[in-house]
Structure formats: C-alpha cells, structure tokens
Chains A and B, each alone.
Chain A
Amino acid sequence: MILLNLISYPRAIILGALQGVTELFPVSSLGHAVIWPRLFGWNIHQNDKYYITFLIATHLATALVLLGFFWHDWVRIVKGIGRSLRDRGIDPADTDAKLGWLLVVGTIPAGLLGLLLQDKLRSVFASAQSAALFLTVNGLILFAAEALRRRAPQTDDDDDTRIARQVTWAQAVGVGTAQAAALIPGISRSGVTMGGGLYFGLSHKDAARFAFLLATPIIGAAAILKLPELLGSEGNGVRGPALAGAVAAAVTAWLSVRFLMRFFETQTLIPFAVYCVCAGIATSVYFAVS
C-alpha cells in the first residue's frame, strides 16, 4: 500500500493554527477552512474524506483546550448537575446546576440538528464562493447583534452566576438552535452564540464565556463521533499531518481563548464584523473574477 501525505506538514500546521484561531474568534472556522485552500490554490476541498478526517483532529484539539481552559468551571457545573439529579430539582440558589442544565438544553437542539443536517448542508454549501458570501452574512449578523444588544445589568456576582441568572431556558434553546446555522461554512458558531447572549442581556465577556462553554460539548462530541475515521483506514496518510495540525490548533486555540476573554472585558464584536464583511466581499469578488 502506498502511503503518502495527502496534506503536507507545513500546510497541516497552517490549517491547524488557522482552525484553532477561527473556531473561537467569531469569524467561522469552517468558512476559513473552505476559503483558505482555494485562495492559495491548494488542492484541498472541504468534502474530501482526508480533509474531513484532518479537521476531526484539529476540532478535537480545540475542544480539549476549551475543556482545559474552563476545567474548574466544568467541575463545578458537572457537580451542580449531579446535585440537581440527586435532589430531583434545581435549587434556585444553585447557579452551577442552572448553568449546567442551560448548557444541556442549549446543546440538545444544536446536537440534533448537527447530527441530522451536517452532511447535507456541507454538500449544498461546499463551494468557496458560498463560504465567502456567508462570511459576509456572518459580519452582518455580528453588526446586528451589537445594534440589538441589551444593556447588561451590573451585579457583583461571579461570571457563571451572572450567566445562570440572566439566561432563561427558552433563550438557551434559542441560542442552541441558532448554533445550527454554523453548519453552513461562513457562519460562525461562537458569533451566533455570542450574538444571542448579547441580545439576551449578557455582557460581552459573559456572552463569550457562555459561547465557549456551549461550544465545548458540541465540538468535542462531533470530533469523538468521527474519531474512528481518523484511527481507521480513512486516516491512512493523514494521521501524521493531522497530529501536527492538532498541536498547532491546540496552541492557537489556547492563545485565542486567553486573548478573547480579556478582549471582551472592554471590547465589542465590531472589529470581527468589519473583518467578516471586508474579507467576505473581497474573497467573493476574487473568486468571481479568478
């Protein structure tokens, strides 16, 4: 059997690093994973089996980084869920339990829609042109989120308590359902989730925190579900570059989440909205004329 690297190591590292950044920045990782290879003339397409296998590794790395970054929060959240199951109810004062179930309730529609629609949407919106167009749409969504956002109440509660008190069950379902839009290359999961959080009255920092917590089980589960492909025969010729890409994704995802949690203490989504609109229009024009 001829084993060749379907993605070269330098490209794997670049694509992995790009994935780690764009998964967490509200600019659509999938959109960039489609646009970038086309922009640079790389013979890589998002529906190629080996590329999907490669992306599984980088997504898993990103999910592990998110899990690690918010590890102490997750421990408290899981304990809270355990307490509520034991007591057969959510104590109004137990904000860890409330936040945990908000994440569960938000993850269910996103997970179901992802399971049922992912392959269909990926095949329908596979082209770099449509990804560029939806990147522009993503920018407009971020602008709209800033325009429609409600003022966050000032409290002395800690971050997770503020989120648990501010977000209702229906809002968690709404944000979770809206996450499914991120199955379309060009639309950002964290952008949609943060936009929803802002609309429901969270601060930028809390909206980012909620988005990252909500993203962790979805990204992790999607990657774990497809892990057999990476470890099986479909991973032949990709595992080495995938590992390199995963390490690059882990490093940039860690730096990104650290940066963004500080950035959103004082800043808004506007810079990302401007980037998405400009990059979306520029690449749309480029693809149209090239």
Chain B
Amino acid sequence: MRNDRLLTIGAVVLGVVLIVIAIVYWAEPARSLPSFFPGHTSGSSHHHTKHGIAAFLLGIACFVFAWFRSGPKRTAPAA
C-alpha cells in the first residue's frame, strides 16, 4: 500500500518535471539550454521542438500512470 502511494507520488513528480523540461525545450534555443540537456549547442538558435514534444508526452504518460495507480483497486473475476 505504502509502495503504491510512493509510486504514485513519484510518477506525479516525474510528470511535472518532464512537462517543465518540455516547456524549456520549446521556450529556449539550443544555446540557452542547460548544458546537461540533450541538444544543447553553443551558438545555435535552433529550437528543439521534437525534444519538447517527447518530454511532454512522457510527462502525460506519467500522469496517466499515477491516475490509474491511485484509482480503486480491482479484483480479477473468478474463473
């Protein structure tokens, strides 16, 4: 039960982080991205839109996972 709760909270936190990362990718050109971000390139004005979409979709997936994990428990029907 406690593990379930931790997993749900972890998924929500990860989802928020990924959505923030997506926004950073969309808002900032490659030269202004933090150096540890994939796609960081000095002097480049290119926006990594696709990286942003990828991070956004993963973020949404984390939220959906948390939504299901925190839902009512189901028992498998008897065979």
> Which A residues lie at the B interface, using CB under 8 A?
84-85, 87-93, 108, 111-112, 115-116, 225
Specify the chain A residue showing the minimal Cβ separation from B75: A92
Contact (A115, B72) CB under 8 Å given A85-B67, A88-B67, A93-B77? no
Which B42-69 residues have a C-beta within 8 angstroms of A?
50-51, 53-54, 57-58, 61, 64, 67-68
Closest CB pairs A-B (n = 10): A88-B71, A115-B50, A115-B54, A89-B71, A112-B54, A89-B74, A108-B61, A115-B53, A92-B76, A88-B68
Q: How distant is A222 from chain B, measured CB to nearest CB, in Å? A: 11
- Cross-chain contact A111 with B50 (CB below 8 angstroms): no
B residues with CB within 8 A of A: 50-51, 53-54, 57-58, 61, 64, 67-68, 70-72, 74, 76-77
Minimal beta-carbon separation of A177 from chain B (angstroms): 14
Cβ–Cβ contact B51 & A116, under 8 A: yes
A88 to B65 Cα, complex, angstroms: 10
A-B contact pairs, 25 of them (CB 8 A): A84-B68, A85-B64, A88-B67, A88-B68, A88-B71, A88-B72, A89-B68, A89-B71, A89-B72, A89-B74, A90-B68, A92-B74, A92-B76, A92-B77, A93-B77, A108-B57, A108-B58, A112-B54, A112-B58, A115-B51, A115-B54, A116-B50, A116-B51, A116-B54, A225-B50
Nearest-neighbor residue (CB-CB) of B74 within chain A: A89
What is the CB-to-nearest-CB distance from B18 to chain A, in angstroms, rounded to a whole number?
Answer: 11
Bound form: Cα–Cα A111–B76 in Å: 32
Contacts of A88 in B (CB 8 A): 67-68, 70-72
> Which residue of the partner chain B has the closest CB to A86?
B71
CB distance from A257 to the nearest CB of B (A): 27
Q: A123 CA to B64 CA in the complex, in Å? A: 35
- By a CB distance below 8 angstroms, the chain A residues around B61 are 108
Q: Could you say which residues of chain A place their CB within 8 Å of the CB of B72?
A: 87-89
Cα–Cα distance between A92 and B77 once the two chains are bound (Å): 8
Q: A116 contacts which chain B residues (CB < 8 A)? A: 50-51, 54
Q: Which residue of A lies closest to B39 (CB)?
A: A116
Please measure, in the bound complex, the distance between the C-alpha atom of A90 and the C-alpha atom of B67, giving whole angstroms.
12
A108 to B68, CA, bound (A): 17
**Chain A residues closer than 8 Å to B53, beta-carbon distance:** 115, 225
In addition to A89-B74, A111-B57, A115-B50, 7 A-B residue pairs with Cβ atoms within 8 Å of each other are A87-B72, A88-B67, A88-B72, A92-B77, A112-B54, A112-B57, A116-B54
